């Protein structure tokens, strides 16, 4: 057996010092810290694929607008709890231009990142009908959303969609919905961590069941228009960002500034509530919140209690980004398509050395190249592979932490640099020789 690029005892000692019993269950930040310790101790560069944060500069149009807002003195003023009127207007236009649906400006509400938008959505949905207190996650998904459910004391159910794509999705969803306790269904599209994208038939199924069982759909569009198989960046022209909003009027969209616009540091997003849901009055919500309808509860009760709104200057930034994109002056896809190019090269290296793409298709079509993808290796569990790759200077997270039942790891492309492709190729060649299939 050839020596590994990182001495095994360095990795083992770092894991032991953290008190991690099963490295496959380590959190993202634990994996990151072990990699950092090992990198310092070994003097060898790590190829870091565990953190799902942008690796590109923030959209310049947003930075300039935010600086101007600060220079104009906006920092000393509380933002309106409903949000900056200009951002609400531009968000409504953006949704029409790039998703092809109509949501009034009143229902487009700025939030402290999609994390807060999701939390407030879970709160509102789980309190809307006392008979429906459970959120259903179509997994794999973002682990922190389940943490949010736990923190607020709500309930959740989950299932791995891997075996339930296409025509099989309806039966799986109905097996939960028939119980009558599901208030909302949550998924990301494109998906974190697998990068699958739900097909139009699957979205239609979800929408139809939403109507039949009166369940709100929370669609997390954190990776907006980042299915690079199609150019979704031309305003008011198809193809549009796919959405369940074409098949139901009972939905909430979470549109983040973090990935598509690389504006993660300012914690800015917009929660877009369908026109019908925004004005809908639920007896249980109304009894608890002075007769208010869903949209007003979301903003003047949930968001007010959580943070009293979001950064005033960041709202100016997102308003400018959305305005320029909708007017056709800023093509955000041009700035971020490098993620897809990186994924293409990385997939080629991994598969050439015996790895498999775990979540590999949307219907009959191979998944897109984008921000994430998933890998597995024959004969290895997720935990074994996560630890073994650390000896080769590659850090990634176990799919098991995302609600997946498949054996493999999530790979993030955001911090891979051009000089690391050759390095990865050499290391994976040694890996394959040391772990023959």
The per-residue pLDDT for 29 is 84
Residue 1 has pLDDT above 90, yes or no: no
Q: How confident is the model at residue 41 (pLDDT cuts 50, 70, 90)?
A: very high
Q: How confident is the model at residue 45 (pLDDT cuts 50, 70, 90)?
A: very high
SS3 track for the chain: CCCCCCCHHHHHHHHHHHCCCCHHHCCHHHHHHHHHHHHHHHCCCCEECCCCCCCCCCCHHHHHHHHHHHHCCHHHCCCCCCCCHHHHHHHHHHHHHHCCCCCCHHHEEEECHHHHHHHHHHHHHHHHECCECEEEEEECCCHHHHHHHHHHCCEEEEEEHHHCCCCHHHHHHHHHHCCCCEEEEEEECCCCCCCCCCCHHHHHHHHHHHHHHCCEEEEEECCCCCCCCCCCCCCCCCCCCCCHHHCCCCEEEEEECCCCCCCHHHCCEEEEECHHHHHCCCHHHHHHCCCCCHHHHHHHHHHHHHCCCCCHHHHHHHHHHHHHHHCCCCCHHHHHCHHHHHHHHHHHHHHHCCCEECCCEECCEECCCCCEEEEECCCCCHHHHHHHHHCCCEECEEHHHHCCCCCCEEEECCCCCCCHHHHHHHHHHHHHHHCCC
More confident site: 239 or 17: 239
Q: Work out the percent of the chain whose per-residue pLDDT is above 90.
A: 92
**Cα(33)–Cα(46) distance, integer angstroms:** 12
Mean pLDDT of 73-78: 96
Q: Work out the percent of the chain whose per-residue pLDDT is above 70.
A: 100
Question: What's the pLDDT tens digit per position in 83-99?
Answer: 999 999 999 999 999 99
The per-residue pLDDT for 21 is 76
CA-based nearest residue to 341, from 420, 413, 412: 413
The per-residue pLDDT for 16 is 87
Residue 275 has pLDDT above 90, yes or no: yes
Question: What's the pLDDT tens digit per position in 396-425?
Answer: 999 998 999 999 999 999 999 999 999 999
**Cα(299)–Cα(105) distance, integer angstroms:** 13
Question: What's the pLDDT tens digit per position in 423-433?
Answer: 999 999 999 99
Whole-angstrom Cα Rg for the chain: 22
Residue 57 has pLDDT above 90, yes or no: yes
Mean pLDDT of 201-228: 98
More confident site: 137 or 55: 137
Residue 55 has pLDDT above 90, yes or no: no
Average pLDDT, the chain: 95
Question: What's the pLDDT tens digit per position in 356-395?
Answer: 999 999 989 999 999 999 999 999 999 999 999 999 999 9
Beta-bridged to residue 368, according to DSSP, are: none
Mean pLDDT of 336-361: 97
Q: How confident is the model at residue 28 (pLDDT cuts 50, 70, 90)?
A: confident
The per-residue pLDDT for 43 is 94
The per-residue pLDDT for 18 is 78
Q: How confident is the model at residue 168 (pLDDT cuts 50, 70, 90)?
A: very high
Main-chain phi, psi angles of 388, to 5 degrees? -60, -40
Residue 24 has pLDDT above 80, yes or no: no
**Cα(247)–Cα(143) distance, integer angstroms:** 27
């Amino acid at each position: 057996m050839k020596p590994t690029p990182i001495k095994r005892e360095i990795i083992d000692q770092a894991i032991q010092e953290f008190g991690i019993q099963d490295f496959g269950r380590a959190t993202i930040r634990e994996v990151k810290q072990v990699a950092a310790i090992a990198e310092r101790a070994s003097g060898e560069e790590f190829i870091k694929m565990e953190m799902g944060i942008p690796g590109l500069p923030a959209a310049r149009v947003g930075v300039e607008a935010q600086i101007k807002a600060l220079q104009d003195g906006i920092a000393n003023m509380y933002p309106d709890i409903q949000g900056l009127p200009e951002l609400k207007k531009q968000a409504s236009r953006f949704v029409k231009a790039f998703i092809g649906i109509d949501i009034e400006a009143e229902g487009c509400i700025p939030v402290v990142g999609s994390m807060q938008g999701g939390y407030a959505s879970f709160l509102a949905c789980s309190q809307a009908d006392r008979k429906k207190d459970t959120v259903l996650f179509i997994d794999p998904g973002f682990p922190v959303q389940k943490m949010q459910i736990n923190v607020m004391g709500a309930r959740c159910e989950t299932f791995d969609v891997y075996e339930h794509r296409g025509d099989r999705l309806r039966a799986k969803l109905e097996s939960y919905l028939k119980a009558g306790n599901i208030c909302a269904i949550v998924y990301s599209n494109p998906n974190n961590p697998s990068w699958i994208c739900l097909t139009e038939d699957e979205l239609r199924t979800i929408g139809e069941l939403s109507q039949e069982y009166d369940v709100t759909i929370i669609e997390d569009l954190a990776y907006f228009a980042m299915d690079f198989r199609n150019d979704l960046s031309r305003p008011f022209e198809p193809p549009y960002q796919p959405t369940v909003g074409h098949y139901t009027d009972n939905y909430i969209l979470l549109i983040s500034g973090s990935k598509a616009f690389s504006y993660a540091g300012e914690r800015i997003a917009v929660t877009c509530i369908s026109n019908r849901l925004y004005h809908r009055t639920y007896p249980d919500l109304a009894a608890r919140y002075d007769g208010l309808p869903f949209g007003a509860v979301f903003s003047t009760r949930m968001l007010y209690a959580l943070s009293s709104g979001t950064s005033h200057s960041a709202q100016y930034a997102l308003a400018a980004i959305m305005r320029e994109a909708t007017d056709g002056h800023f093509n955000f896809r041009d700035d971020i398509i490098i993620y897809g190019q990186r994924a293409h090269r990385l997939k080629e290296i991994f598969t050439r050395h015996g790895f498999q793409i775990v979540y590999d298709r949307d219907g009959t079509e191979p998944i897109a190249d984008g921000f994430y993808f998933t890998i597995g290796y024959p004969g290895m569990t997720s935990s074994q592979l996560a630890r073994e790759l650390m000896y080769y200077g590659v850090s990634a997270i176990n799919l098991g932490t995302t609600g997946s039942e498949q054996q493999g790891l999530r790979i993030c492309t955001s911090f891979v640099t051009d000089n690391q492709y050759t390095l990865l190729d050499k290391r994976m060649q040694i890996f394959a020789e040391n772990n023959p299939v």
